[in-house]
Amino acid sequence: MEIKSNVKNFSFYRRKTSNIIMLTFSLLAALVTLIPLIFIFYYTISKGITYLNLNFFTKLPTPVGESGGGMVNAIVGTLILIAIGGGIGIPVGIFTGTYLSEFGHNKFGSIVRFLTDVLSGIPSIVVGVVAYTLVVVPMKHFSALAGGVALAILMIPTITRTTEEMIKLVPQSYREAGLALGIPKWKTTLLIVLKTAWKGIATGILLGLSRAAGETAPLLFTALDNRFWSTNVFQPIASLTVYIYQYASAPYKDWNDQAWTAALVLIILISLLSLIFRIITRSKYKTTN
């Protein structure tokens, strides 16, 4: 009897301790995960703030050794690249997503759906190589257009999937109502279904755009870099992310500091995008309530 209860006690305590140990580990894991986040934000803000002034937004980069200067060309360049990427990626993504949810309930549709998923997992640098062979090689020089194509390829999966999910949420009765009024199917899709799902789709677009804004790898050998003011889409163009990479790897302290500022500006830019994203989703809930 005695032995038996001892065994029971032992296993009870063992179970209790392992319970506590594992649960504590889980809590610690959650805390450890937050540490890098806090660190990164802390450093980006505290180091980036030193160069964050009007010059940064209005002046061109200065040569090494000369202090001051800004990155206005890179900020504009990033915006241009996102615009080109969006100009190609948004329509393709929306149309693919619409096709998948309205007409894609067949074998072809599921193949496209699967390929979109696979596309979203392809490393961005590989996308850059593809954009290089597709655009840079035929045109024989680097250009903002090539960078935009690379960003578009990266955006398409995100936009396609959100469009499909959002359109699926549109009640079937809307479509039936449209068809009952004798409106052709394409018009129903375009004017009724897409219009109803529009806000949801917009969030997908913003998500895609903000991802693209943070991409560096595919721009390195498509959009390249440009130290001067340029808005010509057929010429190389500067971007914030490529500047961060170059300035961080450079051996000049001045440049390193500016890299932090560029990082801060980039984060602010992306947060602005996601702020808009949040406002749009909120107003969506208001209207449905």
Phi, psi of 175 (to 5 degrees): -65, -45
Calculate the CA dihedral of residues 134, 138, 142, 143 and round it to 10 degrees. -80
User: In sequence order, which ranges of 169-217 are alpha helices (DSSP H)?
Assistant: 172-180, 185-187, 194-196, 198-213
* Residue window 137-176: x/- pattern of binding to other proteins, with contact defined by CB under 8 A: x---------------------------------------
Cβ-proximal residues to 5 (8 Å cutoff; 6+ apart), any chain = none
Beta carbon of residue 56, minimum distance to other proteins (angstroms, whole number): 16
111-146 burial: b if 16+ Cβ within 10 Å, else e: eebeebeeeeeeebeebbbbbbeebbeeeeebbbbb
Give whole-number Cα distances, 96 to 104, 113, 165, 168, 204, in Å.
9, 9, 12, 13, 13
Beta carbon of residue 130, minimum distance to other proteins (angstroms, whole number): 5
Rule CB under 8 A: choose which of 196, 221, 233, 281 binds other proteins.
221
Supply the DSSP symbol for 71.
-
**Of 22-30, 57-65, 96-104, 185-193: span binding other proteins (CB under 8 A):** 22-30
Beta carbon of residue 145, minimum distance to other proteins (angstroms, whole number): 17
**Count of positions on this chain that bind other proteins (CB under 8 A):** 60
Q: With contact defined as beta carbons under 8 Å apart, do 136 and 167 qualify?
A: no
Beta carbon of residue 176, minimum distance to other proteins (angstroms, whole number): 27
**Of 13-21, 58-66, 158-166, 173-181: span binding other proteins (CB under 8 A):** 13-21
| 54: contact with other proteins by CB under 8 A | no
How far is residue 123 CA from its own chain's centroid?
Answer: 13
Cβ-proximal residues to 188 (8 Å cutoff; 6+ apart), any chain = 175, 178, 179
Of 178-217, which residues contact other proteins (CB under 8 A)? 210, 213-217
Q: With contact defined as beta carbons under 8 Å apart, do 216 and 244 qualify?
A: yes
Rule CB under 8 A: choose which of 33, 67, 173, 288 binds other proteins.
33
Rule CB under 8 A: choose which of 10, 13, 43, 234 binds other proteins.
43
Rule CB under 8 A: choose which of 52, 274, 280, 281 binds other proteins.
274
The nearer residue to other proteins, 3 or 29, going by C-beta atoms, is: 29
Task: Give the binding site for other proteins (CB under 8 A).
Answer: 15-16, 18-19, 22-23, 25-30, 32-34, 36-37, 39-40, 43-44, 47, 114, 117-118, 121-126, 128-130, 132-134, 137, 210, 213-217, 220-221, 224, 241, 244-245, 248-249, 256, 259-260, 263, 266-267, 270, 274
